[in-house]
Chains A and B, each alone.
Chain A
Amino acid sequence: MFEWEKLGRIYCPYDFENRSDWMFEFAQAPCTLIFDDFVRVYFGCRPKRDANGQYVTYSAYADLNKTNLFKIERFSNKPVLKLGNFGCFDEFGTYPLSVIRRDNEVWGYYAGWTRCISVPFNVGIGLAISKNNGETFEKLGEGPVIPYSLYEPFTISGPKIRKFGDVFYLFYVAGNQWVVVNGKPEISHKIRVAYSKDGINWNKLNKDLIPDRWGENESQASPDVFFANGIYHMFFCGWVPSSFRVTKNRQIGYAFSKDLNNWTRDDSKVGITTSASGWDSEMVAYPHVFEIEKTIYLLYIGNEVGRYGFGLAKLNGNL
């Protein structure tokens, strides 16, 4: 089993009384962009609910001091991505964001959210490019770069962009069923992968990578892949649609692969779970693994899907 040492919470929105209205609530699905002297953490945030009780979601960042990751040096002063135009796939949300450097640019893959009648939302993955070191991103176009498709009929979400060798890999989730629980549709989505040479044209594998373990129709999310010691390690999270509104529980899972296509799930190795009390007592979710100065860290969110922010754990030993 891996040994993740919880170091505590880095950011809780309620600790910042003067925070901007557009980042009033939540801090979801963190991902990093590492600079020479700071670590930029992108996360999803929300203004208060609108008059109809609806949320929109933006992506923001917090820059952390590189030698003390609990010291927030600055926040983005506006959303790094605009919401989509009228009728577009990303009209009501542009999160989570996953970034990768390409020469002098930073390419960001993000989930765009729209609202539907019979189900609450649909989601596609868009591409936006930053020419100012990830300060802000401009969309490649108004539509999604990874849309829903024949064998992935809806809710294409949770992108995690990686490059191994000459190939870009996009790990993401694709909806396979809206499960009706107590009369309400709850999404069940599974971890998938697509490949690309140029980051724009993608080929989907069209296969679930990770078998269910938590429960029937479990929903999987945040497939965060990290290469270490000759093996690809995936940390992800998930929940069970039929019960999570009651249990409020989300957990982190683990799988490994030698070829990026075939994954062996082994949650017994994951080495991190909910705490007995505190901000992550019900949920540990949306993992992101990164490395600084040969130390491997895990960012994750806690209770109520990140309403109370994100925290950090450190790996003792090796992956």
Chain B
Amino acid sequence: MKWKKLGKIFDPTKHVWKENFMGYAQSPQAIVFDDFVRIYFSIRNQDNIGTFISHIQFVDFNKNLKTIINISNHEVVRPGNLGCFDEHGIFPINVLRYNDIILGYTNGWSRRISVSVETAIGIVISKDLGFTFERLGDGPILSATTNEPFLVGDPFVKVIDGIFHMWYIFGIGWKKHSDSAQPDRIYKISHAISYNGIEWNKEEGKQIINDKLNEDECQALPTVIYFKNKYHMFFCYRSAFDFRKNKDNAYRLGYAYSNDIKNWTRDDSQVGIDVSKDGWDSDMLCYPHVFELNRKIYLLYNGNEFGKYGFGLAVLEM
């Protein structure tokens, strides 16, 4: 597989926002409409105690994926209520069409005292073509359970033969790199199914993608697409420690394939994309999202600094 990079296509710092957003356009995810492509992402501001809060916004591109024709600049999903799982932001959101509505699966963040955060997966629904979304309830649809004790997140949902499949991540540990360091989290990719998109059965603590780096490898944001008689999964992975500044430990994209949706073979040698020598994606590649448009397969992704300065696009050379 070989991806041809088309460059960075959106930079949130180059636009004027009604809210005091300070950058980041993380985890771009697309829905294709008849005459445009809507790309959702998470942008940040800071709350009154100076911590980051992620909010959902979108940008509409002409179907050439070059020309911006609209930017949301309104409240797409309202913030979570006091004490709720998504009170401190939503990042990312995964969107898909389902009958006449658009479903959004959210990764909600809430801040904790001993560890920095907990996450869980929520559901929101849009009846106005994705312009705004409403929560089905204030709580999550997937959260920590007996064998997945924390950090359930990063949902990606696909309906295959009438069954909802979700690939997501769950935490397996909080570890300190050194005595003085803040604890860092370790998470792995897993799979759940549902018959209505709301009630899910998780595989409960089953890691479905092998580690490449070591047992502390962090795997995130799976995205799955079917072509050439196979399911293809792209995701990002990194070292558990020293991953923010050290480009050797930072996020890269990984790849796995499956013939049956259940069993996955990891083969990063086929991923077909790596960091650039210089520029916006020279240190890091993260938060991939694969979608099809005009019989071509595209990859949206973030680069350096976890997408602080936007996201880029690549196209698969078949």
Contacts and interface: CB of A to CB of B under 8 A. Distances in A.
Interface stretch (A139-147, A157-165, A233-241, A306-314): A139-147
Interface centre among A87, A142, A200 (most CB of B within 10 A): A87
Nearest to A206: B137
Given A116-B112, A185-B83, A150 B123 contact: yes
Contacts of A145: 145-146
Given A145-B145, A151-B137, A154-B83, A86 B174 contact: yes
B87 interface: yes
B148 interface: yes
A155 B151 CA distance: 17
A124 interface: yes
Contact of A153 (B83, B123, B144): B83
Given A87-B183, A150-B123, A175-B83, A143 B149 contact: yes
A126 B81 CA distance: 25
A117 B89 CA distance: 14
Given A116-B112, A117-B113, A154 B145 contact: no
B114 A115 contact: yes
Nearest to B112: A116
B150 interface: yes
Interface in B59-101: 81-85, 87-88
Contacts of A149: 139-141, 143
A156 to B, nearest CB: 10
A143 B83 contact: no
Contact of B149 (A87, A116, A127, A178): A87
Contact of B148 (A143, A148, A178): A143
A82 to B, nearest CB: 14
Interface in B109-165: 110-115, 118, 120, 122-123, 136-141, 143-151
A192 to B, nearest CB: 13
Contacts of B83: 116, 118-119, 122, 153-155, 175, 178, 185
Classify chain B: how many residues form its interface, as a range.
Answer: 35 or more
A143 B84 contact: no
A114 interface: yes
B141 A143 contact: no
A152 B83 CA distance: 12
B110 to A, nearest CB: 7
A115 B151 CA distance: 15
A143 B140 contact: no
A174 B171 CA distance: 25
Contacts of B143: 147-149
Contact of A118 (B82, B141, B144, B173): B82
Contacts of B171: 87
A108 to B, nearest CB: 14
Interface residues of A, number: 38
Contact of B111 (A89, A116, A124, A155): A116
Contacts, number: 124
Contacts of B113: 114-117
Interface in A184-234: 185, 200
A143 B139 contact: no
B150 A143 contact: yes
A143 B122 CA distance: 18
A150 B140 contact: yes
B37 to A, nearest CB: 30
B208 interface: no
B198 interface: yes
A117 B112 CA distance: 5
Contacts of B138: 150-151, 153
Given A148-B140, A175-B83, A86 B146 contact: no
Given A143-B144, A147-B143, A153-B139, A119 B82 contact: yes
A175 B84 CA distance: 10
A85 B146 CA distance: 13
B116 to A, nearest CB: 9
B85 A153 contact: yes
A69 interface: no
A3 interface: no
Contact of B144 (A85, A147, A151): A147
A167 interface: no
B115 A86 contact: yes
A124 to B, nearest CB: 7
A154 B84 contact: yes
A7 interface: no
Contacts of A148: 85, 120, 139-140, 143
Contacts of B85: 148, 153-154
Nearest to B47: A118
Contacts of B183: 86-87
B145 A144 contact: yes
Nearest to A148: B139
A236 B150 CA distance: 31
B205 to A, nearest CB: 8
Contacts of A122: 83, 110, 118
7 contacts: A84-B149, A89-B144, A141-B145, A143-B150, A144-B144, A152-B139, A154-B84
Given A124-B144, A141-B147, A185-B82, 10 more contacts: A87-B185, A92-B114, A116-B113, A118-B111, A140-B146, A147-B140, A147-B145, A149-B140, A150-B139, A185-B83
Interface of A: 84-89, 91-92, 114-119, 122, 124, 126-127, 140-145, 147-155, 175, 178, 180, 185, 200
